[in-house]
A and B are shown apart, each in its own frame.
Chain A
Amino acid sequence: MAAQWIKPSTRPDPIEDLVSGVDRYNPSNVSILEDYLYHQIRSEEYDLLANLAILKLYQFNPDLHNPDVVINILLKALAASPLPDFNLCISILDERTTPSSLDEPDPLPTTLPLLKVLQNLLYRCRFPAFWQTYNSEEFETLRDNYTVEVAGFENSIRQVAIRAVKATFTHITSQRLGSYLNLEGDALTAYVKQLAWAVDSATGNIVVPPNPDNQIEATVVQEQIKLPQLTKVISHAVKA
């Protein structure tokens, strides 16, 4: 799980060299990383560490700062919830002081609060509220200018909901699942089918396949004695 996060299998070698080496600080490499971000956006890949490397370059070289790139990075990070990716990006996004001469308005100050709202709803598993908010008028600019470009954005959010459902439920009503996925009717049926989840014919409820998180059993944790605890006793026995 963490291994894929540290180094996704889709990461090309040149990017790996950049991310792991000192070259990540070289401002002239920013375009390589930005291209890689747009590649992620088009092909539904995700590589947090590479994207953080972009933000790091922005942090050290404010001249490079490109708000559109930042917004795209944050959109990708949203779908990683409940992992802290979104916050990790925000952490190295230094507050920028507005230059006295501004060529064009910076979309970030107005967009960032919206993204934070979405992140908060996702992290708190308020999936129906997420879709309602996301599809509201206030978020139209975000949808029209940004998420429309991110291939599979809505599906990536659905994955967040699916992860939470898988961990919590053994059975779930299709209505509830539909509200989490913002799908209904045939679309929902198709989505459930694609997940290969079964439908209980008697109740019409959806059966969430067993996995370590939704299999619960009461256990008694037995004490485990580790060898180092016994070193003194054993070494004494050997001496004697």
Chain B
Amino acid sequence: MGYTDKLGNVRDTLRKPAVQSGLTFAVALIVVALVRNPYYVGILVFLGINVIITIGLSLLMGYAGQISLGQAAFYGIGAYTTGILTTRFGFPIYLSLPLAILFTVTIAFLVGVPTLRLKGHYLAMATLGLGEIVHIVFNELSSLTGGPSGFGSIPLIRIFSVKLDNDTRYYIFVWAIVALVLFIALNIVHSRIGRALKAIHKEERTAATLGVHTARLKQMIFAISAGFAGLAGFLYAHYVTFLSPGTFSLHFSILLVTMVAVGGIEHIWGAVIGTVVLTILPEYLRFFKDFDILIYGIILMAIMLLRPEGLYGIKIPIRRKGVHG
């Protein structure tokens, strides 16, 4: 076997979803072994939670060509559902998890089915409206949600006899789920559905002519992306153990879209890159205090104008020099 053949084999292996998500989990384990400071481990837990949401959003934006401006609402619905079920109604966590995801997906279907039948980007507006409505309900339905000040004492997750009560254990749990979500998403992308989705995105009319049921595929992907956000909400609720409406605002929905767009909407890994950059970056922007929003705006605008395909796949000049020299 020649050198290039071997290289080709390695590349093929690396392309497999199972390998990619396995490697992601391995890297995550190495990272946590290096990072000892619990504060930073905490940030990396949130990074994992954000990555779960943006992977879903990336499927929606890059592969279904639709945009959701209410992803924080699905995140919030997942979090509040499990929070309310476990604290107010004494549900065990293994029941509240599927119910939280199910409820999130149901809401997504209710919004997505009628809107995605329409041509164009009405979903953006419908989800924007849904996001505000959900935010208002979190604030006003005080008997269940505790109103603007929120509610706490959400139980910790226990897996068999291991209680996920420190940052490192929760980190491993979250990143195992990130690997699982990545595996599902990459499989969707590489499947027949994924190719059909790419076709929708590129040329919807042609795809429809070729027998792709465009509306139904878009609805399905939207429901999956909402399900991921609901799952992330579940992870958030049982990590922070306290919920208030502020976390699930329009601001966060827009930040999520920014992460995906900055990383690159054409590829799942773009979403991961964008999320890493925009979750870690604020730690270095502390001295800007509240003006981080202005920085996000500048970054997003600059990327859209200069490199609308995002950071993913950007060529680093050093490497190119190496090839030639």
A binds B: no
